[in-house]
Chain A
Amino acid sequence: MSTRTAPVLDIDALLDDRGTGIIVCCGSGGVGKTTTSAALALRAAERGRKVVVLTIDPARRLAQSMGIEELDNTPRPVPLSTSTSEEGGSLDAMMLDMKRTFDEVVESQANPEKAQQILQNPFYVALSSSFAGTQEYMAMEKLGQIHRQAQKDGTYDLIVVDTPPSRSALDFLDAPERLSSFLDGRFIRLLLAPARGPARLMTAGLSVVTNALTKILGAQVLRDMQTFVAAFDTLFGGFRQRAEKTFALLQADETAFLVVATPEPDAMREAEYFVDRLTDDDMPLAGLVVNRASPRPRTDLSAEEAITAGDRLRESDPESLAAGLLRLHADRVRIVERETQIRQRFAASHPQVATAVVPAMAGDVHDLEGLREIGELLAGPAGA
């Protein structure tokens, strides 16, 4: 192997360390964040930890096998073997309902009448369901809630957090800050100003703004907007405070980030952004999981040789089985070469990042057995 191989990520050491209280799996879309989160949670539980895993949009069959098809926004126990519970391990799982989490925050912060007013406003509906980053923000909000509860009553000693398929991996780190700075924003202050009496801000600038908006959107929209902002006003402070707390929690020593990527240029580029950003923000990075790596070829027959030989066979027999086998082998060699290059590039620019490589399984991962297998692969040969 090349000298540029990354240091090995010791997953079992991470899971067994009682100092690890939170594991966050992040990475770009479709790389295996949900699978990895669930597999880590299961493995930790089977090694004696009291675990809750917070998943986001798991595949239907996976959700079924963990018993969390119901979106009720509370953790449900996943039945495990008796030997696990004898050793003190347990696993709860839940699927995040972003809108409900947001509604609950509003309900907990405002009086019932005001809460209703907010929940029904079209601007709130848009904010809570489609503002870029809301899902990320709500995942962090839920993490905060579960963490507070766990500290109070000791139900869990490890929280594993899955993250949503963001447009950009960074959405997830920026979301709390974006949302709160947005709600604190200048324009919102401006909209609130008339409602607050002294028209100090009624400058020429503002009338240009409101005139333009009325022209484009119509007076109705502007009124809806003002109602929303006024109703939301009292919550702003609350949101900012919460965002700050969550950020602090993510920076705490008990937290460990795992960046998940597939060995594809785009996913690895996102992983790089992520690693850099976590480092810049003093977030504790545990390592990189390269998921769905193509399994190594089992023989060193080269791709070129295999292709040439396959072509020869096909000349006399287009259906030749051996030719088919050779083609498969050539493809595998090429794909693995390419993936190895991509990984080495990452290792060269980030030599300090510990890495675990999980090969692509031939079948899908949709039950506890599959998760267990992924867990073993994550732990590497030492853990198998």
Chain B
Amino acid sequence: MAILAIVSTRTSPGSASPDWPQVRLHVVTGKGGTGKSTVAAALALALARSGRNVLLCEVEGRQGIARMFDVDPLPYAERRLAKGLLDETGHAGQVHALHIDPESALLEYLSIYYKLGRAGRALDKFGVIDFATTIAPGVRDVLLTGKVYEAVVRNSRNKDAITYDAVVLDAPPTGRIAQFLGVNSELAGLARVGPIKSQADKVMDLLRSPRTAVHLVTVLEEMPVQETADGIAELRAAGLPVGGVVVNQVRPRDIGPAALEQIRAGEVDGEAVAAELTRARVDCDAALVDHLLAEARDHAVRRELEEEQHEVVAALDVPTYELPRLAGGVDRGGLLDLAALMREQGLA
């Protein structure tokens, strides 16, 4: 029985996420700077369990993946990026990376669907590629989402390509996410018939299905939390599947609410703290205690604001996950630590 169970999880296809078992495409959005790229990368590492291939995509032209993993800038081609987070038995799957830029996606699209090898280049010469990918309404987003779609639904027909168990998209920020993902439905207004229209419908089917989840990253500050709430409402209105809220950069919670209250009120018994410090063999005087308490007061004020925002997040009524602020910054080791927390919490 037990053996069978293990075998079946090891070999079952599809997503590895306990909380999101049906999801093949994890879209990660959030207000600028809250940690979208960090969370997307950690999620890819966490999803890459033994025997699984996960694709981490970026579409903003920032080369954030390359920077985080300290590799050369990524081309428009899938690359092996890193081994996933090890499981208890020391096994892991593989994370691949893809940097999608609209120009390359358009040229690829033209050559695959229209066999427009030479004409494609002619288009480039006339500035059409530039026009199409920068101004023609939504074309840029259509191309980016189209490529992501291709990576998700890819099947054995595309012989040389890897089929992925999950795709993680480091997506545009909350302010643009509904527009970005919904672009294919808007397209109907522009292209009423033709190949673009039927492709757009298929992409929308995926993005609106339970195979997709849009996760929102936030930090516990007023503006990002507000944007998260607005973003959820907007996604829902657009019929796009809201995933979880990832609360990132959470400050340490070692000090409980009662003690925080005391600290804020300046009612901590300094002598008791001094005694404890001395017991821990810290060379301690009254000034040290004062300084530590002053530092703690800043923290207590922040924590109070975080608590307020925490309640707002809780009231959003979507699954939430929490990641700590890593004091040393985010390096590869840090990404793996965050990935481990995601597995613990069931996000991956």
Contact = CB atoms under 8 A, between A and B. Distances in A.
Interface in A239-296: 265-267, 295
Contacts of A131: 134-135
B135 A220 contact: no
A30 B175 CA distance: 13
Interface in B245-286: 252, 254-256, 259, 268, 272-273, 276-277, 279-282
A113 interface: no
B116 interface: yes
The 10 nearest A-B residue pairs measured at CB: A126-B137, A29-B32, A322-B276, A30-B33, A362-B301, A298-B291, A324-B255, A309-B280, A187-B127, A324-B254
A298 B297 CA distance: 12
B194 A217 contact: yes
Given A122-B189, A187-B131, A217 B196 contact: yes
A212 B328 contact: no
Interface residues of B, number: 72
Interface of B: 31-34, 60-62, 67, 110, 114, 116, 119-120, 122-123, 125-128, 130-131, 134-138, 173, 176, 179, 189-196, 221-223, 226, 252, 254-256, 259, 268, 272-273, 276-277, 279-282, 287-288, 291-299, 301-302, 305, 327-329
A205 interface: yes
A221 B254 contact: no
Given A309-B280, A312-B281, A332 B295 contact: yes
B328 A218 contact: no
Contacts of B277: 309, 322, 326
Nearest to B137: A126
A313 to B, nearest CB: 5
Contacts, number: 193
A168 interface: yes
B255 A328 contact: yes
A130 B302 CA distance: 36
A59 B191 contact: no
B60 A322 contact: no
Interface string A108-146: 000000000000001101110011100000000000000
8 contacts: A61-B222, A167-B61, A186-B127, A217-B136, A267-B33, A321-B268, A325-B255, A328-B295
B275 to A, nearest CB: 9
A123 B110 contact: no
A353 interface: no
Given A218-B191, A324-B255, A187 B130 contact: yes
Given A186-B126, A225-B136, A309 B282 contact: yes
B268 A220 contact: no
B128 A187 contact: yes
B292 A224 contact: no
B192 A220 contact: yes
Interface string A297-313: 11101000110011011
A132 B294 CA distance: 45
Contacts of A266: 67
A326 B292 contact: yes
B296 A320 contact: no
B287 A322 contact: no
Contact of A297 (B33, B130, B189, B295): B295
A209 B128 contact: yes
A30 B192 contact: no
A208 interface: yes
A215 B280 contact: no
A370 to B, nearest CB: 12
Contact of A213 (B128, B259, B291): B128
A185 B62 contact: no
B276 A364 contact: no
Interface string A360-372: 0011101000000
A218 B193 contact: yes
Contacts of B189: 122
Interface in A90-119: none
Interface centre among B60, B61, B190 (most CB of A within 10 A): B190
Nearest to B276: A322
A15 to B, nearest CB: 27
A299 B288 contact: yes
Contacts of A324: 252, 254-255, 259, 296
A327 interface: yes
B196 A167 contact: no
A267 B60 CA distance: 16
Interface in A14-42: 28-31
A122 B138 CA distance: 11
Contacts of B294: 298
Interface string A170-205: 000000000000100111101000000000000001
A295 B282 CA distance: 23
Given A126-B136, A215-B114, A220-B192, A301 B282 contact: yes
Nearest to B301: A362
A86 interface: no
Interface centre among B120, B127, B173 (most CB of A within 10 A): B127
B138 A327 contact: no
Contact of A130 (B127, B179, B252): B179
Interface string A150-182: 000000000000000101100000000000001
A319 B277 CA distance: 14
Contacts of B126: 186-187, 190, 205-206, 209
B138 A126 contact: yes
A123 B135 contact: yes
Interface centre among B116, B252, B329 (most CB of A within 10 A): B329
Nearest to A58: B223
A384 interface: no
A216 B280 contact: no
A148 interface: no
Interface in A211-234: 211-213, 215-218, 220-221, 224-225
Contact of A132 (B123, B125, B134, B136): B134
Nearest to A296: B295
Contacts of A206: 126
Given A182-B135, A208-B122, A221-B191, A216 B292 contact: no
A313 B116 CA distance: 70
Contacts of B327: 330-331, 334-335, 338
B131 A325 contact: no
B196 A216 contact: yes
